[in-house]
A and B are shown apart, each in its own frame.
Chain A
Amino acid sequence: MTITGQPVHRRLGMTDDEHESVIRILGRSPLPAELAMYSVMWSEHCSYKSSRAHLRRFPTEAPWVVVGPGENAGVVALGDGWLAALRIESHNHPSFVEPYQGAATGVGGILRDVFTMGARPIALWDQIRFGPLDDPKNRYLFGGVVAGIAGYGNAVGVPTIGGEIEFDPTYSGNPLVNVMCLGILREEQLVLGTAGEPGNVAVLLGKATGRDGIGGASVLASASFDDGSQEKRPSVQVGDPFEEKKLIEACLEMFEEGLVAGIQDLGAAGLACAISEPSGRAGVGMDVDLGAVHVRESGMTAPELLMSESQERMMAFVHPRNVEAVLVIANKWEIESAVIGMVKAGGTLTVRHSGEIVAEMPAASLADAAPLYDRPLRRPEWLDGLWQTPDPPQIEPADALIQLLDDPGIGSSAWTYEQYDHMLFLNTLCGPGGDGSLLRIRGTHKGLAVSTDGNGRLCLLDPRRGAARLVYEAALNVAMTGAKPLAVVDNLNFGNPEKPEVMWQFRETVEGISEACEALGIPVVGGNVSFYNETDGVDINPTPVVGLLGLADPIPIQLPGLGRAREGMEIWEIGPEPTQNLAGSALQRVVHRQLGGRPTAAQPEWAKQVIELAASLAHQVPVLHDVSSGGLAVGVAEICIASSVGAALSAEGIGPLFSEDPHRFILMMDPGAVRLPADLARMVGFVGGNSLSMSGAGAVDLGLLTATYQQAIPRRMNR
């Protein structure tokens, strides 16, 4: 069976060996629909076949973990019967091919992952990375992705509270669009992705199935890019936030009434996944009739129906006595529904179309029998060369500061977040533009703090150290809102896993995240792996993104904020003294235009002390801000801009001003307001005046700082 010279399985992204495995499982050659199902379920995107062996390294247990990795979202207990559901995902390739819809459907998908658990989604964060904005293609991608996130998120009615924006040439051929969602629920509302007992009825809810997104998981998400990639546009789905809004409300009402035994969203691999995974988890089988699926167009074949990634669909498993009530709620919310199958004992999945059996296999084989690759690893030979610290050119600190504030990844992100509804639900206590976000849970004293952090340059130079530092940075950010770190999700964006150097970066990254989580005593409750971020043979810098959830209980009565600095306050730097290390820093990237050296390693003992101190100071002082991109100088400048006041820094020299060494934050307070531990705290200046002066380096006018910072993105986007 060949089309245009290639066997069908290869055109579907399957290797010859994988095809042989299917034949072994079935004891015969697969039918077309069966081949379609295995090809998407065994794709890298769905099966994690290159990464599973390494992901086992993550610490995943803690007394507060309710649902760990492997379900649609991780769930942790917050006390008093409250749970939080958390999930992060990438939509990198679809967003490159079609930025608006790629980003929009990424938002839609992550929302479904969270409300599938019975949780109401309360906030979204986006981590987006592009090539430099002087290239019109990158402006188009950036503008389109932001518009897509806004268009979907605002209309579906879930606030987008923050995230990250980074610009680096490594993402020119392969932008990264990650999105994280947080939901909350009462413990009795938790629902899992299980088909439950034999006799349960499978009800397909939501939008009609069409030919969009066919093979998205295999053809698009699990393959590298080249010049012909734009031809893959039809593999990108189209989002409908209105349909999703109705679907959320309808499903939450069904959960509230206790009508649903289990539910699974239809995302990557569509129906193939939504019938096989819940059956596999429950150890049951299913009879499915594709003829009952409500469709948008006629003449769809069985493989198309099974592989379609049409958006805004959910598969509910319902006890027969509740089917009528489920259909009534669907009708009330004006969403379509169809009974398409029934759960049966015995573990065999049987799919019929027009009366004929088009697929029959062990349901669990689609997930559990997926190939597992232990791909070769090799430390890159070029790394030693990169660790040679380059001689930095001479620069004036004042000039460097202005150049850094003009960088669109450091300058104000208001251009972006003002397009997102970030206030809906009246929970946003710390919104976009600061360090961590903080959301209250109304009717309690609890606040949920979130920070997401990534840094591809740090991780290129040392993936293990870089990844560990991301966890510590995120933990410090949530601590500065008064929260205690609780759990981590990660989105691991990497190049082609068939290259041993990429797999080495991956393994090192998993190790770094694991070490840091173990040191802080927090579990990894979920994640996503995005491989094949490679265009024309060039891999992106390894870019893990860490999303960390913390719990503030109680919420500080008066929250620290960047805008609360006042004339006469003292400026303190808390944490270990910085070294001269600039490896992977913003100064290297923006000012020196170099990349080299070995990043400073995290120090777990320091980290824990600093994080605990920050969480306690959040209840006592007006200004806390972490030292990260651009170092102390940029951190203080950001506070000056937000508070419309100048400052005088006694810090001197490039290292103390611009190093991004870990575990440090800035504190401002009235003189002597709080006693600080002498071994952790250094006074580094005073607030006041109309300029920011650095000892021995002249002063920069506050107006110039502010204008530069605010215009960093608008002047490049011409708006």
Chain B
Amino acid sequence: MRTAVVVFPGTNCEKDVVHALTSLGGEAELVWHRETDLSRFDGVILPGGFAHGDYLRTGAIARFSPVMAEVGRMAAAGAPVLGICNGFQVLCEAEMLPGALIANRDLAFICRFVDVEVTDTSTILTRNATLGQRLRLPLNSYQGNWVDPGSDARVTLTYLDNPNGSQGSAAAVSNAAGNVVGVMPHPERASEELLGSGDGLVLLESFLQSLVPA
């Protein structure tokens, strides 16, 4: 079972994600954004950062990176695809997830722990969690405010104290099949009590257990 962790120029959380996955016994490999063949992988994570600088709308350039065609193919085939923070923004831009992420309500970057609640346990991010389970995860974004007017999107996690103004307090959403998920807080940053929380582990374990041989 191998996970591709995609690196765009400007991505910065890729090594943290690999570290957290491998500490759980997963196998993960960094993949440059020009890669055009992901057939050796069983799942994909788009990590946080500032893909291509994000000077345009976040993710607007990244969706055209060569690797994204393969990410789309795997998503369509039902493989687990997870976007964390900037990765969530890229998946929305690529229309693999509903809605869009706009600037936080207070127009300031927010880096702090937030509390979220699990609202859907049938996704690749939450299958090991229980409904209503509360998790403490670090948020780290300027454009974390998810909007999707008239949406019937599946919301996977909600904020208890909506810090950025997201519609329906959504902290994570999935596609209809539940195999593509975008999450704004960083599960990999909550992977050890020493760092302030181990609550992200249940989410990363869910992802790893969702992997099936391609």
Question: B-contacting residues of A (Cβ < 8 Å)?
Answer: 150, 154-157, 240-243, 245-246, 332-334, 414, 417-426, 428-429, 440, 442, 719
| Given known A-B contacts A241-B50, A245-B50, A719-B108, A426 and B195 have beta carbons under 8 A apart | yes
Contact call B53/A155, Cβ cutoff below 8 A: yes
Contact call B109/A424, Cβ cutoff below 8 A: no
What band does the interface of chain B fall in when counting residues whose beta carbon is under 8 Å from A? 20 to 34
| Given known A-B contacts A242-B50, A334-B9, A719-B108, A426 and B55 have beta carbons under 8 A apart | no
Q: How far is the CA of A111 from the CA of B121 in the complex (A)?
A: 43
Q: How far is the CB of A68 from chain B (nearest CB, A)?
A: 31
Q: How far is the CB of A104 from chain B (nearest CB, A)?
A: 13
User: Out of B12, B110, B138, B186, which one reaches A157, CB within 8 Å?
Assistant: B12
Contact call B50/A155, Cβ cutoff below 8 A: yes
> What 17 additional pairs, Cβ within 8 angstroms, besides A423-B138, A442-B19?
A242-B9, A242-B50, A246-B10, A334-B9, A418-B112, A419-B111, A421-B109, A421-B140, A423-B140, A424-B12, A424-B140, A426-B19, A426-B189, A426-B192, A428-B195, A429-B195, A719-B108
Does B52 touch A at the CB level, under 8 Å?
yes
| Residue of chain A at shortest CB distance from B192 | A426
| Given known A-B contacts A242-B50, A242-B52, A425 and B9 have beta carbons under 8 A apart | no
Residues of A with C-beta under 8 A to B55? 242
Q: How far is the CA of A425 from the CA of B12 in the complex (A)?
A: 9
Q: How far is the CB of A498 from chain B (nearest CB, A)?
A: 41
Contact call B13/A424, Cβ cutoff below 8 A: yes
Q: Can you list 19 contacts pairing A with B, beta carbon distance less than 8 Å?
A: A154-B50, A154-B109, A154-B142, A156-B12, A157-B10, A157-B49, A157-B50, A242-B54, A245-B9, A245-B10, A245-B12, A414-B112, A418-B108, A419-B111, A421-B111, A423-B111, A423-B140, A423-B186, A440-B194
Contact call B15/A425, Cβ cutoff below 8 A: yes
Residues of A with C-beta under 8 A to B192? 426
| Residue of chain A at shortest CB distance from B110 | A418
| Residue of chain B at shortest CB distance from A415 | B108
Kindly supply a per-residue 1/0 record for chain B positions 21-57, scoring 1 wherever the CB is within 8 Å of any chain A CB and 0 otherwise: 0000000000010000000000000000110111100
Residues of A with C-beta under 8 A to B106? 719
Residues of A with C-beta under 8 A to B169? none
Contact call B194/A429, Cβ cutoff below 8 A: yes
Residues of A with C-beta under 8 A to B15? 425
Q: How far is the CA of A719 from the CA of B110 in the complex (A)?
A: 13
| Residue of chain B at shortest CB distance from A442 | B19
Does B174 touch A at the CB level, under 8 Å?
no
Q: How far is the CB of B144 from chain A (nearest CB, A)?
A: 13
Residues of B with C-beta under 8 A to A423? 111, 138, 140, 186, 189, 195
Q: How far is the CB of B45 from chain A (nearest CB, A)?
A: 15
| Residue of chain A at shortest CB distance from B34 | A332
Q: How far is the CB of A481 from chain B (nearest CB, A)?
A: 13
Residues of A with C-beta under 8 A to B54? 155, 242
Q: How far is the CA of A177 from the CA of B1 in the complex (A)?
A: 49
| Given known A-B contacts A242-B52, A242-B53, A429-B194, A424 and B9 have beta carbons under 8 A apart | no
Most buried by A among B9, B13, B15: B9
Residues of B with C-beta under 8 A to A154? 50, 109, 111, 140, 142
Q: How far is the CB of A520 from chain B (nearest CB, A)?
A: 29
| Given known A-B contacts A333-B9, A429-B194, A429-B195, A422 and B111 have beta carbons under 8 A apart | yes
Contact call B50/A426, Cβ cutoff below 8 A: no
| Residue of chain B at shortest CB distance from A335 | B9
Q: How far is the CB of A144 from chain B (nearest CB, A)?
A: 13
Contact call A155/B108, Cβ cutoff below 8 A: no
Does B191 touch A at the CB level, under 8 Å?
yes
Q: How far is the CB of B160 from chain A (nearest CB, A)?
A: 17
Kindly supply a per-residue 1/0 record for chain B positions 168-203, scoring 1 wherever the CB is within 8 Å of any chain A CB and 0 otherwise: 000000000000000000101101101100000000
Residues of B with C-beta under 8 A to A334? 9
Residues of B with C-beta under 8 A to A245? 9-10, 12, 50
Residues of A with C-beta under 8 A to B189? 423, 426
| Residue of chain B at shortest CB distance from A414 | B112
Most buried by B among A241, A421, A440: A421
Contact call B9/A420, Cβ cutoff below 8 A: no
Q: How far is the CB of B191 from chain A (nearest CB, A)?
A: 7
User: Out of A156, A417, A425, A440, which one reaches B16, CB within 8 Å?
Assistant: A425
Residues of A with C-beta under 8 A to B111? 154, 417-423
Q: How far is the CA of A675 from the CA of B42 in the complex (A)?
A: 57
| Given known A-B contacts A418-B112, A419-B109, A423-B189, A246 and B19 have beta carbons under 8 A apart | no
| Residue of chain B at shortest CB distance from A249 | B9
